[in-house]
Structure 1
Amino acid sequence: MASKRTMAIRLIPLCLALALLNGTASAQQQAFSREGLQLHYVWKYDNASTQAFTLTLPAETALPPWSAWRSAQADAFVFQQLVRDAREQYPDVSFRFRQTADGGRVDYQTSDEKLLPQIKSWLAQQQSTLFNAYLDQHYYKRHGGNDSHLIRPDHVRIAADSSPELQEIAQTLQRVIVASATEEQKKRYPNDEKSLVTAGLLDFVQSIPYDPLQSSDGLRGVTFLMPEQVLAQNRGDCDSKSALMMALLAALYPDLPQAIVYIPDHALLAVALPAYSGNEETVAIEGQPFLPLEVTGPAELAPGVLGEKSRLYLRSHEYQYERFHPTVTNSTPN
Structure 2
Amino acid sequence: MHNLLKVIVSLIIISGALISSASYAQQKHFYKLNTNAGVELNYQWLSLDGPRQLKFTLLQSDIEALPNSAPAYNPMLAQNHIHRTLLEYAQTIDPKVARINIKRSGSSLNMEVSGSSETKINEITETLSSKHTQAETEYLAKNYYTPFQNEYGQMAIKQDHRRYAIESSDNLESVVESIKKQLNKPNNSREFINFTLDWLQTIPYDTLENRISSNGSGFAAPKQLILNNKGDCDSKSTLFLALLKAYNPNISVKMIFLPQHALVGISMKAEKNDIAIEQDGVTYILAEPTGAAQLPLGEIAPSSMMYVRNRQFTTEMF
Judge conservation of contact 2:54–2:179 (CA < 8 Å) in 1.
no
Question: Which of 188, 191, 194 pairs up with 2:189?
Answer: 194
Question: Which of 175, 178, 187 pairs up with 1:169?
Answer: 175
Instruction: Specify the alignment match of 1:42 in structure 2.
Output: 44
Gaps of 5+ in 1: 1-20, 325-334
Counterpart Cα distance in 1 of 2:204 and 2:245: 23
Judge conservation of contact 2:69–2:219 (CA < 8 Å) in 1.
no
Question: Which of 90, 103, 106 pairs up with 2:108?
Answer: 103
Instruction: Specify the alignment match of 2:72 in structure 1.
Output: 68
Larger CA deviation: 224-233 vs 301-310: 301-310
User: What do residues 108-141 of structure 1 show as CA deviations (whole Å, max 9, x unaligned)?
Assistant: 4434344333333332222112111211111111
How high is the TM-score relative to the length of structure 2? 0.81
Whether 1:282 and 2:280 are equivalent positions in the alignment is no
User: What do residues 142-181 of structure 1 show as CA deviations (whole Å, max 9, x unaligned)?
Assistant: 1139x973111111111011000111112112212x0xx5
Gaps of 5+ in 2: 1-17
Larger CA deviation: 225-234 vs 264-273: 264-273
Whether 1:27 and 2:36 are equivalent positions in the alignment is no
Question: Which of 128, 131, 135 pairs up with 2:136?
Answer: 131
Whether 1:85 and 2:89 are equivalent positions in the alignment is yes
Larger CA deviation: 313-322 vs 74-83: 313-322
Counterpart Cα distance in 2 of 1:315 and 1:89: 56
Instruction: Specify the alignment match of 2:220 in structure 1.
Output: 225
Shift in CA distance, 155/59, structure 1 to aligned 2, threshold 3 Å: closer
Instruction: Specify the alignment match of 1:14 in structure 2.
Output: none
Shift in CA distance, 320/214, structure 1 to aligned 2, threshold 3 Å: closer
- Name whichever structure is richer in strand by fraction: 2
SS in 1 for 2:81: helix
Judge conservation of contact 1:142–1:148 (CA < 8 Å) in 2.
no
SS in 2 for 1:143: strand
Identity percentage of aligned residues: 27
Shift in CA distance, 25/220, structure 1 to aligned 2, threshold 3 Å: farther
Instruction: Specify the alignment match of 1:118 in structure 2.
Output: 123
In the alignment, residue 315 of structure 1 is paired with which amino acid? R
Counterpart Cα distance in 2 of 1:254 and 1:204: 21
How high is the TM-score relative to the length of structure 1? 0.77
Counterpart Cα distance in 1 of 2:116 and 2:19: 66
Instruction: Specify the alignment match of 1:263 in structure 2.
Output: 258
Instruction: Specify the alignment match of 1:56 in structure 2.
Output: 58
Judge conservation of contact 1:63–1:162 (CA < 8 Å) in 2.
yes
Instruction: Specify the alignment match of 1:321 in structure 2.
Output: 315
Counterpart Cα distance in 2 of 1:22 and 1:237: 21
Judge conservation of contact 1:160–1:250 (CA < 8 Å) in 2.
yes
- The offset of 1:45, in angstroms, is 3.4
Judge conservation of contact 2:63–2:223 (CA < 8 Å) in 1.
no
Larger CA deviation: 249-258 vs 56-65: 56-65
Counterpart Cα distance in 2 of 1:223 and 1:113: 49
